[in-house]
Amino acid sequence: MRIVPDTSVIVDGRITDIVQEEEFKGSEVIIPEAVVSELEYQANRGRETGFNGLEELKNLQKLSKENIISITFVGRRPTLDEIALAKGGEIDAMIRSTAREHDALLVTSDRVQAEVARAQGLEVVYIQPEVLEYDKLEISKYFDKDTMSVHLKENVVPMAKKGKPGKIKLVKIGSKPLKRSEIHRMAREIVERAKSDLKSFIEIEMEGATVVQFREYRISIARPPFSEAMEITAVRPVAKVSLEDYSLSDELMERLRDTAKGIIIAGAPGAGKSTFAQAVAEFFSKEMNAIVKTMESPRDLQVGDEITQYAPIERDMQKTADILLLVRPDYTIYDELRKTRDFKIFADMRLAGVGMVGVVHATRPIDAIQRIIGRVELGMIPSIVDTTIFIEDGKIKAVYDISLTVKVPTGMVEADLARPVIEIRDFETGELVYEIYTYGEQTIVMEVSTVAGRKTPAQLIVEREIEKEFSKRLPPGKFKVELESDERARVWVEEKYIPQIIGKKGKTIEEIENNIGISINIEPLKKVEEKGLIKVPVDISGNYVVLEFGKDSIGVSYDILIDEEYLFTATVGKRGTIKIKKDIELAEMILDAVKKGVPIKARVRSET
């Protein structure tokens, strides 16, 4: 009997079993060169399927040497264009032609290939995908009930992360380093089983990298040239929880039921974001009887069968979103938002009326909102995201409510400074935590501070804006800015630069005042005296904190004071400065004072 196997049945590793069955023993196995070329192409691109197929061809050669079968290679090599069009059926067509020319039986595990061959009158054996016992994966032996992830690399002892979010430890789970052959064997098994298991998928296959979702395991396989060595990383959720396990307040539960339609779940890697997202998805589906879908790449959320999990169509999540907008789910879980395109897709779906839950990497609660800024129009953020939930160590650490209002930002008093402001409040207490608004060309994300005796965030912004305007016109260190009130600022300028900053008929200073929106008084920098004290501009240069005195003070010794408290005495150097290394305590005290808005002052050291 003559047999022509196609690429699919060689890659999944079952042709060697088939040809040893009694019915096919002694068969002539005819391998089209088109199959070899396709496997070679995949292997050259670092794809596991290519290596698996070539390994299966070597197994067939062994059977041939044992006289169980005979093997021949026939046909021409396909062109690069034909290989590039393999997904369109060019290679499959060449394989069918080979079977027809040799009057052979076509063996395939590709359903489309089988149907087309039958339609052309060929004799076909279609090998249906097997449903194998997934717990028999070799890599599963490294997992126990506390294992979150397993990390295998050639020439390295196997490692695993054990525990639960917030209490995870990296431990050795073997006694000797793994060989490359061992890693390769496990990688091949993973890919083969993923092809034959109906609940498993090869999510990504690129040059040197393969990502497999095998039941609850998300497995990443890396090989050169992508990595310097063969490596397998397998991740598995260690807990499946419900919202009841989080002890949410009645107010938050009511919000999730009734008003929260744009939710961001944020947290650091391993904090438990996906576990919470799964709990939210199950709550929407089972408790609220809502239609819930997910958008994932790869698909690794562990959710019930009633929740459909979608991957990117043709590697494009926008196409998946287009389908979902036709399906019209009540809620969609988007895991994870990373790139600008992800945020825009999330925004489009939310504005189309779909309830959205996004998962975002963030180290602070506010970071989740900051990642949206610049990716969507600022004023649209509250329409896209109304609730952010920050997860840390598997627990909810903060919940923010996001809303839009028109007001004067905190710390500003002038009515004409009113503008749209996004308010971010602690959901449980109602306390205003952050404000987001535009000031000039900047988008400001400002923590609302109520610490007495310090400048408000808005005042610090105004000071920076004044410094920016003066820096356009004067050299660094030639002026000092101090905001005296919300309506007035005082700027000390080296005397020789005062005419330049005032301008002809006061036009320059008038332009600055109009740009900033407050009144500015100009005074000579060296005439700032109070009880014999002068205010000293502070700069940072490399590893030094620099006190600027000017060249007319070279050689003069000064007492340096913070808030009129003596700090130290030093002599002005050749460049008109006193320099202090940043890593000593004196420098830290000066920088801390500047940060708090406390002026640095100096007085001439008495000779007595």
pLDDT in tens, 498-533: 888 898 888 898 888 888 888 888 888 764 444 567
d(CA 58, CA 40): 13
d(CA 412, CA 393): 38
| Band of residue 451 on the pLDDT scale cut at 50, 70, 90 | very low
Residue 416: its pLDDT value, please?
64
Residue 311: its pLDDT value, please?
85
- The secondary structure of residue 287, as a DSSP letter, is I
Q: Is the pTM of this model over 0.85?
A: no
At 308-356, the pLDDT tens digits run: 989 888 878 999 999 999 988 999 999 889 889 999 999 999 999 999 9
Residue 157: its pLDDT value, please?
95
At 205-215, the pLDDT tens digits run: 888 888 888 87
Give the mean pLDDT of 559-569. Answer: 81
Give me 393's structure tokens.
């160590």
Give the mean pLDDT of 109-123. Answer: 91
| CATH superfamily label, 2-126 | 5'-nuclease (3.40.50.1010)
Most confident of 319-328, 437-446, 485-494: 319-328
- The secondary structure of residue 297, as a DSSP letter, is S
Q: Are strands 538-541 and 544-548 parallel, antiparallel or unpaired?
A: antiparallel
- The secondary structure of residue 225, as a DSSP letter, is T
Does the domain spanning 243-450 belong to CATH 3.40.640.10?
A: no
| CATH superfamily label, 457-524 | K homology (KH) domain (3.30.300.20)
Residue 587 has pLDDT above 90, yes or no: no
Residue 450: its pLDDT value, please?
42
**Alpha-carbon distance values, 595 to 332, 444, 500, 528 (Å):** 44, 18, 29, 21
d(CA 8, CA 109): 6
| Band of residue 391 on the pLDDT scale cut at 50, 70, 90 | very high
Residue 489: its pLDDT value, please?
85
d(CA 148, CA 600): 53
Nearest in space to 270 (alpha carbons), one of 143, 165, 365, 361: 165
Class for the domain spanning 138-235: alpha beta
Is the Cβ–Cβ distance between 83 and 41 less than 8 Å? yes
**Beta-carbon neighbour count of residue 605 at 10 Å?**
14
At 214-238, the pLDDT tens digits run: 877 889 999 888 899 999 999 887 6
Q: What's the whole-number average pLDDT of the chain?
A: 85
- Helix, strand or coil, per DSSP, at residue 85: coil
Describe the crossing of helices 48-65 and 33-44 by its angle, rounded to 10 degrees: 140
Residue 191: its pLDDT value, please?
83
Q: Poorest-confidence range of 284-288, 417-421, 437-441, 540-544? A: 437-441
Residue 5: its pLDDT value, please?
92
Residue 352: its pLDDT value, please?
92
* Terminal alpha carbon distance of the chain: 115
d(CA 568, CA 223): 60
List all residues 6 or more positions away from 522 whose beta carbon is below 8 Å from its beta carbon: 491, 492, 493, 498, 501, 502, 509
Residue 152 has pLDDT above 90, yes or no: yes
**Beta-carbon neighbour count of residue 459 at 10 Å?**
18
Q: Are strands 217-222 and 231-235 parallel, antiparallel or unpaired?
A: antiparallel
Residue 84 has pLDDT above 80, yes or no: no
Give me 371's structure tokens.
């990642």
Nearest in space to 601 (alpha carbons), one of 551, 559, 540, 553: 559
d(CA 270, CA 364): 14
Q: Poorest-confidence range of 9-23, 133-147, 174-188? A: 133-147
Give the mean pLDDT of 250-277. Answer: 89
Is the Cβ–Cβ distance between 403 and 423 less than 8 Å? yes
